């Protein structure tokens, strides 16, 4: 990693500061009879980039609002480097926050916006000007300090918001769908930029988004939320390759999730499961042997090679979609009638199968996971 | 209905109707203007000849001079109080989490909807009892109550025009509640506050019913003086005074309109 290469020595000084260790202990929020956040305990390491993803109404914004201090939790505590901050008002928490629509003050110039937190902290004029200039340089907006936010593009506004939230060296940076308002190409560019920025500052980041690809690309670890509950926490790879339940499996990527009726254990952590509708498969018995089988699309082998795998089925191609060097097949298994999705890279000489064509489908038993929950049909 | 000619005739018809409505709204107000230049000694229409004598009489009149001073002395503090309290009420009811906010909002604008005579009759005995009938304080209180809804409406509209995210952002950046108000909320709602102040002053400057009940000859305002003159002497000096009043009020409303426009442009530009 060579993230410091293009930073001036000033920035290296900042980089030596570390972010805060954040601990949530039984944090809960109820509104009358409605539970927005079930008791949540979570430990986010100092300097970690932690993403929270989930559909709207899953409680991720509530958790972020509680951390920022906008929402008072019904129970529980939040510790920053060991000190409980639940009773501390938002303006004394010394966290940075980037909002989805940036919330740049329209009546102030870019420099005044970035200088605002320093002004609130009583920083002397000369030092303030210097730090604002440094922050502008860090987000590559030199010379735009006198503009109004409305005169900047979306990406530039986003960078101003980032500079404003970081100019006072907060220990924790909260981000609420910060790239939600940008178009796809700019979003990918900003993902890299934010990641670089976070590495340079060494700040702890809690990043809320509903975009699972964005979260997976940026975060060290991520948590998936649903119905006010943390469903699973882990690195992007862990969550993708070892989902514990149907919701997590379905939320990340496009898994094939098939219902199973009966499982019986085998040696070596494997189990035999009977697919609903007929057919036996061998698969990895995860911690909780459940009612569903999850297979990732890139693990499924299609064509004559499928014969070599542990679980082989005859199937019919239902749909073939080509996109940018990869092909995705939707295949219906004979007998049980379940649908599996397969995806692999193509080469120019590869002949694609057509809908209606008959073929073989299979996967290794180590690529099938028995997980909790009932698949949606 | 798809015949373009029919549509054109229809649109001309609508335009003509709109012009008629405008004439109907504005013309009676403007009839007073030629009357004020009349050479006749009583109000008659059309005026027989042109003269500036009534403007001269208006300028010379001590009664009018005192009344104008009274109107300003009452209007400015009434507008100021209405602006402060109206703004505070709008903040509490738009941004706060009070229970029964809808009912309270309705109560806030009630003085605007209820007949002013009801308030005047109610205030009269109370002020007699308090011994402030006829004083500046009495009419000031009355006008503040009536002007507050105007400020409340303009400031509430300004607050509703942007998401409270700006205030949340200011707080995360280290601004306490007062600094958040001073550096973020107030600048964002400034056009609404200024327009509300102008409306409140214009209202007090034109108000008659409370002035009849609550002022005396020493504290009477311009509208009350005009009304008294209408009862006793029908000279065109009334018309001249009215035109002056009209010009003042219209120019204040024009300022308000300009402020409301420039104010509306700024936040919307940032939100896009």
Inter-chain CB proximity A120 and B270 less than 8 Å: no
* Residue A2 is assigned to a structural domain of this protein: no
Chain A hits for B172, Cβ within 8 Å: 68-69, 90-91, 93, 95-97, 165, 174
Q: Based on the fold, state whether residues A234 and A287 are members of the same structural domain.
A: no
For testing contact with chain B, the best of A32, A69, A102, A106 (most B CBs within 10 A): A106
Nearest CA in chain B to A165: B173
Number of structural domains chain B divides into: 1
Distance in Å, alpha carbon of B167 to nearest chain A alpha carbon: 9
Nearest CA in chain B to A101: B271
* Residue A4 is assigned to a structural domain of this protein: no
Q: Based on the fold, state whether residues A327 and A205 are members of the same structural domain.
A: no
Report how many Cβ contacts below 8 Å link chain A to chain B. Answer: 77
> Helices marked H in A206-365 — which ranges?
212-218, 236-241, 246-251
Task: Tell me the C-alpha to C-alpha distance, in Å, between residue B143 and each of B78, B128, B205, B221, B224.
Answer: 6, 17, 10, 12, 14
* Residue B10 is assigned to a structural domain of this protein: no
Q: Based on the fold, state whether residues A323 and A215 are members of the same structural domain.
A: no
Inter-chain CB proximity A106 and B172 less than 8 Å: no
CATH at A172: 3.40.50.300
Q: Is A326 left (phi over 0), alpha (psi -120 to 50) or beta?
A: beta
Chain A hits for B176, Cβ within 8 Å: 89, 91
- A234-256 mean pLDDT: 90
Inter-chain CB proximity B174 and A94 less than 8 Å: yes
Q: Per-residue pLDDT tens for A140-163?
A: 898 899 999 999 998 899 999 999
Inter-chain CB proximity A91 and B188 less than 8 Å: no
CATH at A323: 2.40.50.100
Inter-chain CB proximity B270 and A148 less than 8 Å: yes
Nearest CA in chain A to B272: A150
Chain A hits for B271, Cβ within 8 Å: 101, 106
Inter-chain CB proximity B171 and A174 less than 8 Å: no
Inter-chain CB proximity A91 and B172 less than 8 Å: yes
State how far the Cα of A43 lies from the Cα of A45, in Å rounded to an integer.
6
Q: Based on the fold, state whether residues A359 and A213 are members of the same structural domain.
A: no
Inter-chain CB proximity A105 and B166 less than 8 Å: yes
pLDDT of B194 reads: 92
Q: Per-residue pLDDT tens for A14-29?
A: 445 578 999 999 999 9
- A244-272 mean pLDDT: 87
* Residue A264 is assigned to a structural domain of this protein: yes
For testing contact with chain B, the best of A32, A70, A89, A107 (most B CBs within 10 A): A107
Number of structural domains chain A divides into: 2
Inter-chain CB proximity A107 and B174 less than 8 Å: no
Distance in Å, alpha carbon of A86 to nearest chain B alpha carbon: 14
Q: Other CB atoms closer than 10 Å to residue A35's CB: what's the count?
A: 17
CATH at B90: 1.10.3720.10
Owning domain of residue A270: 256-371
For residue A1, pLDDT over 50 is answered with no
Q: Based on the fold, state whether residues A143 and A191 are members of the same structural domain.
A: yes
Nearest CA in chain B to A154: B272
pLDDT of A120 reads: 95
* Residue B18 is assigned to a structural domain of this protein: no
Q: Based on the fold, state whether residues A162 and A40 are members of the same structural domain.
A: yes
Peptide bond into A343 cis (omega under 30): no
pLDDT of A71 reads: 93
State how far the Cα of A85 lies from the Cα of A346, in Å rounded to an integer.
53
* Residue B29 is assigned to a structural domain of this protein: no
pLDDT of A289 reads: 60
Inter-chain CB proximity A107 and B187 less than 8 Å: yes
Q: Per-residue pLDDT tens for A272-312?
A: 888 888 888 888 886 666 788 999 999 999 988 888 899 99
pLDDT of B4 reads: 83
Lowest mean pLDDT among A26-30, A99-103, A250-254: A250-254
Distance in Å, alpha carbon of A96 to nearest chain B alpha carbon: 6
> Helices marked H in chain B — which ranges?
4-30, 32-36, 53-60, 62-90, 101-113, 116-130, 136-160, 165-172, 177-180, 186-206, 209-214, 222-232, 237-271
Owning domain of residue B67: 53-263
* Residue A301 is assigned to a structural domain of this protein: yes
Task: Select the residue of A90, A121, A165 nearest B171 (Cβ to Cβ).
Answer: A90
The edge-to-edge listing of strands for the beta sheet with A49-53 is A96-98, A172-176, A204-209, A49-53, A221-226, A229-234
Chain B hits for A70, Cβ within 8 Å: 168, 171
In chain A, the N- to C-terminal Cα span, in Å, equals: 44
Q: Based on the fold, state whether residues A228 and A350 are members of the same structural domain.
A: no
Inter-chain CB proximity A116 and B269 less than 8 Å: no
Task: Judge contact between A50 and A207, C-beta under 8 A.
Answer: yes
Provide residues of A within 8 Å CB-CB of chain B. Answer: 68-70, 89-97, 99, 101, 103-107, 116-117, 120-121, 148-150, 164-165, 168, 174
For residue A13, pLDDT over 60 is answered with no
State how far the Cα of A248 lies from the Cα of A55, in Å rounded to an integer.
11
* Residue A251 is assigned to a structural domain of this protein: no
Task: Select the residue of B176, B183, B267 nearest A91 (Cβ to Cβ).
Answer: B176
* Residue A78 is assigned to a structural domain of this protein: yes
Q: Based on the fold, state whether residues A305 and A229 are members of the same structural domain.
A: no
Inter-chain CB proximity B175 and A69 less than 8 Å: no
* Residue B268 is assigned to a structural domain of this protein: no
* Residue B30 is assigned to a structural domain of this protein: no
Percent of residues, chain A, with pLDDT higher than 90: 59
* Residue B28 is assigned to a structural domain of this protein: no
Task: Tell me the C-alpha to C-alpha distance, in Å, between residue B38 and each of A314, B26, B62.
Answer: 104, 20, 22
Q: Based on the fold, state whether residues A327 and A201 are members of the same structural domain.
A: no
State how far the Cα of A366 lies from the Cα of A260, in Å rounded to an integer.
17
State how far the Cα of A110 lies from the Cα of A239, in Å rounded to an integer.
40
* Residue B41 is assigned to a structural domain of this protein: no
Q: Per-residue pLDDT tens for A179-222?
A: 887 888 888 888 998 998 898 889 999 999 988 889 999 999 99
Last residue of a domain, one of A187, A207, A241: A241
State how far the Cα of B220 lies from the Cα of B69, in Å rounded to an integer.
10
Which of B30, B17, B11, B14 lies closest to B246, judged by CA?
A: B30
Q: What is the DSSP letter of B92?
A: I
Which residues, at least 6 apart from A265, have a Cβ–Cβ distance to it below 8 Å? A271, A285, A289
Inter-chain CB proximity B166 and A165 less than 8 Å: no
Q: Based on the fold, state whether residues A15 and A155 are members of the same structural domain.
A: yes
Last residue of a domain, one of A216, A241, A266: A241
Q: What is the mean pLDDT of chain A?
A: 88
Q: Other CB atoms closer than 10 Å to residue A238's CB: what's the count?
A: 14
Nearest CA in chain A to B163: A103
Q: Based on the fold, state whether residues A344 and A298 are members of the same structural domain.
A: yes
Return phi, psi of residue B249, to 5°. -60, -45
State how far the Cα of B53 lies from the Cα of B235, in Å rounded to an integer.
11
- A92-108 mean pLDDT: 93
For residue A2, pLDDT over 50 is answered with no
Q: Based on the fold, state whether residues A208 and A260 are members of the same structural domain.
A: no
Q: What is the pLDDT along chain B (272 residues), one digit of tens a residue?
A: 567 888 999 999 999 999 999 999 888 888 888 888 888 777 777 777 788 888 888 888 888 899 999 999 999 999 999 999 999 999 999 998 888 898 999 999 998 888 989 989 998 999 999 988 888 999 999 999 999 999 999 999 999 999 899 999 999 999 999 999 999 999 999 999 999 999 999 999 989 999 999 998 889 999 999 898 888 877 888 888 888 888 888 898 898 888 777 655 444 433 33
Chain B hits for A104, Cβ within 8 Å: 270
Inter-chain CB proximity B174 and A164 less than 8 Å: no
* Residue A62 is assigned to a structural domain of this protein: yes
* Residue B69 is assigned to a structural domain of this protein: yes
């Amino acid at each position: 990693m060579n993230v410091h290469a293009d930073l001036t020595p000033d920035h290296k000084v900042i980089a030596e500061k570390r972010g805060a260790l954040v601990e949530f202990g039984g944090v809960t929020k109820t509104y009358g009879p409605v539970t927005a956040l079930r008791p949540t305990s979570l430990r986010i390491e100092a300097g970690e980039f932690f993403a929270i993803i989930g559909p709207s109404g899953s409680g991720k914004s509530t958790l972020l609002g509680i951390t920022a201090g906008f929402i008072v939790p019904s129970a529980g505590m939040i510790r920053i480097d060991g000190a409980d901050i639940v009773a501390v008002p938002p303006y004394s928490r010394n966290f940075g926050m980037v909002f989805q629509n940036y919330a740049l003050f329209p009546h102030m110039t870019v420099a005044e916006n970035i200088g605002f937190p320093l002004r609130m902290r009583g920083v002397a004029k000369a030092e303030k000007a210097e730090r604002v200039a440094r922050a502008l340089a860090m987000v590559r907006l030199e010379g735009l300090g006198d503009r109004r936010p409305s005169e900047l593009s979306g990406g530039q506004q986003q960078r101003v918001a980032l500079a404003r939230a970081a100019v006072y060296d907060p220990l924790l940076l909260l981000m609420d769908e910060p790239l939600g308002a940008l178009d796809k190409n700019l979003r990918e560019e900003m993902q890299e930029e934010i990641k670089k920025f976070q590495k340079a500052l060494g700040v702890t980041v809690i990043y809320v988004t509903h975009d699972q690809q964005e979260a997976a690309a940026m975060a060290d670890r991520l948590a998936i939320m649903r119905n006010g509950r943390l469903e699973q926490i882990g690195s992007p790879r862990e969550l993708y390759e070892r989902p514990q339940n149907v919701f997590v499996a379905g939320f990340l990527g496009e898994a094939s999730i098939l219902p199973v009726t009966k499982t019986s254990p085998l040696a070596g952590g494997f189990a035999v499961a009977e697919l609903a509708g007929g057919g036996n498969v061998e698969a990895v018995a995860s911690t909780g042997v459940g009612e569903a089988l999850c297979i990732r699309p890139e693990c499924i082998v299609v064509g004559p090679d499928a014969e070599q795998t542990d679980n082989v089925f005859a199937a019919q191609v239902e749909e073939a979609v080509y996109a940018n060097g990869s092909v995705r097949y939707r295949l219906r298994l004979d007998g049980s009638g379940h649908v599996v999705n397969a995806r692999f890279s193509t080469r120019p000489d590869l002949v694609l199968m057509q809908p209606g064509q008959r073929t073989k489908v299979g996967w290794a038993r180590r690529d099938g996971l028995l997980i909790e929950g009932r698949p949606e049909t | 209905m798809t015949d373009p000619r029919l549509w054109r005739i229809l649109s001309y018809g609508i335009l003509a109707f709109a012009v008629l409505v405008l004439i109907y709204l504005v013309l009676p107000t403007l009839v007073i203007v030629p009357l004020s230049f009349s050479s006749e000694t009583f109000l008659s229409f059309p005026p027989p000849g042109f003269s500036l004598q009534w403007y001269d009489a208006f300028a010379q009149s001590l009664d009018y001079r005192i009344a104008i001073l009274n109107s300003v002395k009452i209007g400015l503090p009434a507008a100021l109080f209405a602006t402060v309290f109206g703004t505070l009420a709008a903040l509490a009811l738009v941004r706060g989490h009070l229970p029964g906010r809808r009912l309270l909002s309705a109560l806030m604008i009630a003085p605007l909807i209820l007949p002013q005579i009801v308030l005047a009759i109610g205030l009269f005995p109370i002020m007699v009892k308090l011994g402030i009938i006829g004083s500046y304080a009495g009419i000031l209180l009355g006008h503040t109550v009536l002007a507050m809804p105007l400020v409340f409406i303009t400031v509430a509209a300004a607050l509703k025009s942007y998401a409270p995210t700006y205030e949340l952002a200011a707080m995360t950046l280290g601004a306490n509640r007062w600094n958040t108000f001073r550096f973020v909320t107030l600048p964002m709602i400034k056009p609404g506050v200024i327009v509300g102040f102008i409306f409140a002053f214009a209202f007090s400057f034109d108000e008659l019913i409370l002035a009849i009940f609550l002022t005396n000859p020493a504290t009477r305002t311009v509208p009350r003086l005009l009304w008294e003159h209408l009862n006793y002497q029908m000279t065109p000096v009334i018309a001249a005074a009215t035109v002056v009043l009209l010009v003042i009020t219209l120019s204040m409303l024009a300022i308000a309109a300009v402020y409301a426009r420039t104010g509306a442009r700024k936040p919307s530009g940032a939100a896009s």
